Structure 1
């Protein structure tokens, strides 16, 4: 495609800026917290059908995925199953023998504490070039950019030589096997893929962290508080295990480093791995010595360790705390891994799809790309780790992901859509 035609395409996407904002506003309004993805998927499906595409909507089948090394039962699956939680895909077939590409994003978002927000999290607010709302940056903004990029190509009747699949998936925030993994196993296995996680264009994501959840049930012995000598306080024993895990967290931080995790955010240096006890529950009455306590936590780590190695680290710390305590050594806690069970991944940044996306992102933004990642889990791992399909993150700029007053920069949404459209042309090729 000539330079003039590329400029026309960029201008067409710029002209659709208001449409992009309106679409993102509509998606945010669906309140698509993990488990309630259907309303947002219906918006996507309707948009695709309006362009004459044949839409494939399907519910994941856990039994069909269960033997896959990337599968685990997510918390959302255990609580709600996959019924009435569809994935969506539509393919525009190429007119030649060009390479295929999938543009993918997840429609689920995390819950909100509305008391923390200055803005209505479910009714987008535009202010000073930013659009505020839950999922605006993570990652309904990227989903909207995918759709607008495609519509601009369609408006200009650009004929791609290779197949282009537009895909939106569920439950990424819970780990994603019912989403991208289900799509891959359904047959959506392109030559390359791009997921529009908010990489901070022109920056591009090239790695993800391993993430696992654990649960520790700590026994005690109940007694009246006035006769506490007759009991064993399970919360106190849980505190000893917490301290052991906290010591392990500091020790791991001192020896584990992963530069891509802090290239974009220097404050992450020294925190590339993280072990967090996120919930504690114990006791049932102020004047009763608690007979049980429950700890739940998360460990995340960058590429470089296997899940088996990390599990061994955590279990050894708990075992050591148990063996050195008289009560716990005779009444050991029950340890369980549950929920998130994702391995890390790292993508070779020399991969052609990465370099094409980089060149377009730098041209469009006027900035210089930094390759980052490895501090959080994401869906790209399914493509890169299990199917050898190169898949970077190419998405907008914003802040407050998973926090109050999440926002995305509207200009970066437009730039993301422009980058996606031009990258699709360069990767898939066009008809002569």
Structure 2
């Protein structure tokens, strides 16, 4: 089964999150696995929020991918985002990199082994809701113990010669400021502006970015290598702070009632990515102290996570990468987040590795090369074979 064709067909099945309805895309994957003689179960924790797992779990290796994607507008795309356009080099469209391409490479690898007469010694999980934190996806499967701790590859997009063994932490929250309204002609002598309270709070969030967190000596080499890989991907120098500092994004701000009224309400939604050495819960406590009169509601609070670089799964996937690309691969840590953090917390030894153009993650003209899709499939095949005995 060609991962190029599978990727294109997956892209054409809309699974935007929100709303996160994955019924059709899970049915498509189920049909493929059924044709290979692999029994599966659809796990639906909420209407339309479907996951698919192989009925036989508990293998030494789990291959995992999410099937939901972030929404896309048509404007600005070279090809319509849900067309799954295939040209001589790329498959284009929303999810090609994040991460329907990775799911396609998993399916292609399993199919190749079955067609060889090999019964793959691997469990599979295709999950929903990764793009919104996984409440009906990975969290539900873990809570119900429907997948079991093992070595694990999540087919998230990574550099072709650098598997990812760790992710930064996350502190995502909303803040509701309440001011004292009054006539605008008297402000700032009379009244308290919720908009200005939010502005002052954002200044504090900006200051957090300038903090230095010491790097544990055991991680220095990984951080150094990850910085070089990140700089190569984005063709930009000076990106070390992405890995070693708190990165911040006030993604949504809304407030005020009218231009001539001192604002009574202002709402913020903030996303912070936390480096190793920064404790998410301690940081949230500090943030609450900085805005004691505001209502702060966290939605995701996670510390950075890491699979030890000497783990067996890390060595096995590096061996396959080295053989295919004739390189000496080294693992990296990542600036973003994924379902890996939830799996590690439950005892899984997780590596991320998959096809994609990382520059187009959540962006216009998202795409993946045919070569990356097929090479990832070959590497997955090699790793699965290494677990056969």
TM-score, normalised via structure 1 length: 0.80
Specify which of 131, 137, 147 is matched with residue 173 of structure 1. 131
Q: Alpha-carbon deviation of 1:234? A: 1.9
Is 1:154 the counterpart of 2:114? The answer is: yes
Unaligned runs of 5+ in 2: 232-236
**Aligned residue for 1:212?**
171
- Number of the residue aligned with 1:9: none
How far did 1:177 drift? 4.2
Q: 1:188-247: CA deviations, max 9, x gaps?
A: 215311110111222101001211212221122223434545433221222111112211
SS at match of 2:241: coil
CA deviation string 1:100-138 (max 9, x = no partner): 221110001111132232221101223451222111011
Tell me, yes or no, if structure 1 residue 264 matches structure 2 residue 229: yes
Question: In the alignment, does 2:389 pair up with 1:421?
Answer: no
Number of aligned residue pairs: 369
Q: In the aligned structure 2, how far is the partner of 1:242 from the partner of 1:301?
A: 17
CA RMSD of aligned residues (A): 2.2
Aligned-pair distance for 1:366? 2.6
Given the alignment, which residue of 217, 222, 229 partners 2:181? 222
| SS of aligned partner of 1:348 | coil
Moved over 6 A (4+): none
Q: Which residue of 1 aligns with 2:152?
A: 193
Say which SS state the counterpart of residue 166 (structure 2) adopts.
strand
Q: Which residue of 2 aligns with 1:86?
A: 50
- For 1:397 and 1:256, the matched residues in 2 are separated by 32
Cα distance in structure 1, aligned partners of 2:204 and 2:368: 39
TM-score (norm 2): 0.88
Q: Which residues of 2 match residues 306-345 of structure 1 at below 5 A?
A: 306-318=279-291, 332-337=293-298, 339-345=299-305
Residues 1:112 and 2:72 aligned together: yes
Q: Name which one, 1 or 2, has greater alpha-carbon Rg.
A: 1
Paired residues of 1:100 and 1:428 also in contact (CA < 8 A) = no
CA distance in 2, matches of 1:52, 1:414: 22
Take 2:205 and 2:304, find their aligned partners in 1: how far apart are those partners? 21
Q: 2: CA distance between counterparts of 1:225 and 1:235? A: 13
Output aligned runs, 1:13-412, within 5 Å.
16=1, 19-34=2-17, 35-60=20-45, 82-91=46-55, 100-127=60-87, 129-160=89-120, 163-184=121-142, 185-228=144-187, 230-250=190-210, 252=211, 254-255=212-213, 259=223, 261-266=226-231, 267=237, 268-272=239-243, 273-318=246-291, 332-337=293-298, 339-387=299-347, 389-398=348-357, 399-412=359-372
Q: Is the 8 A contact 2:128 2:134 kept in 1?
A: yes
Change (3 A) 1:159 1:51: closer
In 2: Cα distance, 1:134 partner to 1:368 partner: 32
Match of 2:234 in 1: none
SS at match of 2:349: coil
Structure 1 unaligned segments of length 5 or more: list them. Answer: 1-15, 61-81, 320-331
**Is the CA contact 1:207–1:345 (under 8 Å) kept in the aligned structure 2?**
yes
Higher mean Cα deviation, 172-181 or 397-406?
A: 172-181
Secondary structure (helix, strand or coil) at the match of 1:114 reads: coil
Structure whose residues are more often helix by fraction = 1
Would the aligned equivalents of 1:301 and 1:374 in 2 still touch at CA under 8 Å? no
Q: 1:127 to 1:302 in 2, by over 3 A?
A: farther
TM-fit CA distance, 1:424: 0.4
Contact 2:179/2:265 (<8 A) preserved: yes
Is 2:49–2:136's contact at 8 Å kept on the other side of the alignment? no
Is contact 1:280-1:293 (8 Å) kept? yes
